[in-house]
Amino acid sequence: MNVMDRIEAALETALARGESPSGPPLLMQAMRHAVFPGGQRIRPRLCLSVAMACGDDMPQAADSAAAAIELLHCASLVHDDLPTFDNADTRRGKPTIHKAFNEPLAVLSGDALIVMAFQALAKGVTGAPDRLGRLVEIYSEAVGSPNGICAGQAWESESTIDLVEYQRAKTGALFAAATEAGAAAAGYDNAQWRVLGEALGEGYQIADDLRDIAADPEKLGKPVGQDAANGRPNAVAELGVDGAVDRLKRLITAAVDSVPECPGREPLRAAILEETGKFLPKNLARQAA
């Protein structure tokens, strides 16, 4: 099975656990709406790519780790889209949960998706209990306080924003967790893999900021200029377009250089280069060439 099929199958397994004739139908529909069809699945692909580079000796553990990080990401999107945050009408080209269902179900489906991520780990990482503990720790740190994605979003409620902590928590935390979890799921020391995830996370955030001002709204699936409209910090505002493109390129080099020793090091480095080549919106890639 290829990487994308493994991810979709693992997500389907996780979602199916949350469904039963005895459950409230709209909540179950809302959770499915939030997860399928997906976007690029970039975090679980990164997680699985690292697990495969590390030998992938327990594919079910790696698949569960990949599903869990995507569930956490989807949960964060559902809550970020709420009226009290972005008040977004569309996401991935579809109505957001609070628009397609209602606001209570948006809060609840986000909550239930967070919980489902940890359930996926407990159900899928069996026979390797030390790995389960590490994975729960990695993901709880990546999502919660003081440095996870919730903390990242919470910086927007502060009168003074620590821009470095904000970006690192808001996007970097989940990317760092993706690489660490891929390694942990395959029985490798996760700490060594953090630099790779952090570099890719910062690169992705910069690319997102560039897309936010430059991309085609149809392709991105959400309204452009949202950061500017919400007065949020943004790498392009800080560094200018050329400065941001330059920083992105240096981060990609740092990411490729950081890959630790492992059986599949060279294919992984090649894959990172290919993947990150797609980060830049086409019009900016031409401009930067």
- How far is the C-alpha of 10 from the C-alpha of 24, rounded, in Å? 23
In angstroms, the CA 287 to CA 90 distance is 29
125: DSSP letter: -
Candidate ranges 141-149, 240-248, 250-258, 262-270; the one touching a second copy (CB under 8 A): 141-149
Size of interface with a second copy, in residues (CB under 8 A): 62
Integer Cα distance of 129 and 254 in angstroms: 33
Nearer to a second copy (CB atom), residue 106 or residue 262: 106
| Contact flag: residue 143 with a second copy (CB under 8 A) | yes
* Count of all residues that appear for the chain in the document: 289
By CB under 8 A, is residue 123 in contact with a second copy? yes
Taking the complex as a whole, how short is the minimal distance between the CB of residue 261 and a second copy, in angstroms? 27
Single residue of 4, 107, 239, 288 touching a second copy by CB under 8 A: 107
**DSSP symbol at 37:** S
Which residue in the set 55, 146, 221, 277 belongs to the binding site for a second copy (CB under 8 A)?
Answer: 146
Regarding 154 and contact with a second copy (CB under 8 A), the answer is yes
Site track 76-95 with a second copy (rule: CB under 8 A), x = hit: ---x--x-xx----------
Question: Of residues 44, 110, 187, 203, which one binds a second copy by CB under 8 A?
Answer: 110
Q: How far is CA 162 from CA 27, 153, 166, 176, in A?
A: 36, 12, 6, 19
Nearest by Cα to 177 from 194, 155, 192: 194
- Looking at this protein, which amino acid is placed at residue 231? G
Q: Which is nearer to a second copy, 57 or 162 (CB)?
A: 162
